[in-house]
Amino acid sequence: MNTLTLIRPDDWHLHLRDGELLATVLPATARRFARAIVMPNLKPPVRTTAEALAYRERILAALPAGMSFEPLMTLYLTDQTQPDEIRRAHDSGQVHAVKYYPAGATTHSDAGLTDPARAAPVFEAMQRLGMPLLIHGEVTDPAVDIFDREAVFIERHLIPLMHDFPSLRIVLEHITTRDAVQFVRESPDTLAATITAHHLLYNRNAMFRGGLRPHFYCLPVLKREAHRSALIEAATSGSPKFFLGTDSAPHPRQDKQSACGCAGIYSAPAAIELYAEAFDTANALHRLEGFASRFGADFYRLPHNRDTLTLERVAMRVPETDPADERLPVPLRAGETVSWRIADGNAVE
Ligand code: DOR
Ligand code: ZN
């Protein structure tokens, strides 16, 4: 198979940022994906329906003429979020989910939940309305090794949450471990998971190859090879519980190449191509359409896209950004190649 035509894919986990950076990164996603679930971890976070609708307008205003793209908005859950806000979000028709960051777990998560018990009335309302809860599933307990934070979160927080709210619909975001794969597989259909391209393609060695490589640092951090191969198995299994979410998370170069570099891998400029490469290597290209274009929409109870995207097995070079401009984000594989490209040859902006 040298070409592959898919129902146009969607990205079920994306960071678009705001202002200049939003305008820089949005075209890469809109070129590939029809829709994306847009993360609310701005500074300050997107906490209310009004803020989500205003952010949505800024995204649409940043879209270059002639491109179409539908941002699917989310709210950022804080200790102060009220069930009324969930009702307003649901009624808006534009807010599709609520994001649960444990306070301090990752970039711009300091306003996150300090104790999930406080959010019980919110979870109750979401369960009633069928609104998905998107979870950054890592404990913040400094006594827990960073490579174990996802597995410990499942035991300490996710299992009790699912017990207390058995029909709450949950996406465990950007899973990175064999433990998470197994847990999602064995759970009821109320639980699904997104998987990034970088966690399918790289293990933790990538962060240390010949030196410290900040552009491979993200949260949850890359794990060892046995976990990567469990993720490949899950993504290519045909199970509708696993679907595409890039977690493309751009930061200005100066914030990555620093003594305390930010977490986040900017994969949008080659996102679907990287997934095609991962599925191709696993001899599972026939499973890419379900993972990229159908299972996520089904979970979110949205229609499949009507148009298509054709990929071809031709190496594409991911452009480097101007090394003199410290504000630009550096894409994954910048200056290197990906083995698939979008068929009309315009894969790279
Ligand atoms: O690596 C990450 N970057 N993980 C996250 O959870 C947040 C994201 C970001 O916003 O930069
Ligand atoms: Zn994210």
Ligand 1 mutation pick, 262, 266, 267, max ligand atoms within 8 A of CB: 262
- Residue written as tokens 């991962």? 278
pLDDT digits (tens, 9 = 90+) for 286-335: 999 999 999 999 999 999 999 999 999 999 999 999 999 999 999 999 99
Widest CA span in the chain: 52
| Residue 120 near residue 137 (C-beta atoms within 8 A) | no
Cβ–ligand 1 contact at 263 (below 6 Å): yes
Kindly give the distance from the C-alpha atom of residue 1 to the centroid of ligand 2, in angstroms, as a whole number.
Answer: 32
Instruction: Compute the average pLDDT of residues 23-49.
Output: 98
CB burial of residue 2 (10 Å; 0-12, 13-18, 19+): exposed
**Distance between Cα 264 and ligand 1 center (Å):** 5
CA of 307 to the centre of ligand 2 (A): 27
pLDDT digits (tens, 9 = 90+) for 238-288: 999 999 999 999 999 999 999 999 999 999 999 999 999 999 999 999 999
- 43 phi/psi in degrees, rounded to 5: -120, 105
Indicate the average pLDDT of the chain.
96
Tens digits of residue pLDDT in 57-110: 999 999 999 999 999 999 999 999 999 999 999 999 999 999 999 998 877 888
Q: Residue 344 — pLDDT band, cuts 50, 70, 90?
A: confident
Residue ranges in the chain assigned as alpha helix (H): 19-32, 49-62, 83-92, 120-129, 149-153, 159-164, 178-186, 197-201, 225-235, 253-256, 271-281, 288-289, 295-299
Domain 9-304 top-level CATH class: alpha beta
Q: Is the pLDDT of residue 348 over 60?
A: no
349 has pLDDT over 70: no
What integer pLDDT is reported at residue 252 of this predicted model? 98
Q: What is the pLDDT of residue 49?
A: 98
| Residue 218 in contact with ligand 1 by CB distance below 6 A | yes
Quick one: pLDDT at residue 209? Answer: 97
How far apart CA 79 and CA 66 sit, in angstroms, is: 41
- Would the pLDDT of 345 be above 70? no
Atom of ligand 1 minimally distant from the CA of 173: 6
Mean pLDDT, residues 16-42 taken together: 98
User: Exposed, middle or buried, 233 (CB in 10 Å: 0-12/13-18/19+)?
Assistant: middle
| pLDDT value, residue 347 | 42
**Most ligand 1 atoms within 8 A of CB, residue of 15, 37, 256 to mutate:** 15
142 C-alpha to ligand 2 centroid (Å): 21
The residue whose CA is least distant from atom 2 of ligand 1 is 264
Nearest ligand to the C-alpha atom of residue 218: 1
Stronger pLDDT, 202 or 348, i.e. the higher one: 202
102-128: average pLDDT: 91
Helix axes 83-92, 120-129, angle to 10 degrees: 30
- The whole-angstrom separation of Cα 171 and Cα 240 is 12
Q: Which residues contact 142 (CB under 8 A, 6 or more apart)?
A: none
Query: How many helices and strands in the chain, by DSSP H and E?
Result: 13, 13
Whole-structure pTM over 0.75, yes or no? yes
What would the two tokens of residue 69 be? Answer: 């793209």
* Closest ligand (CA of 101): 1
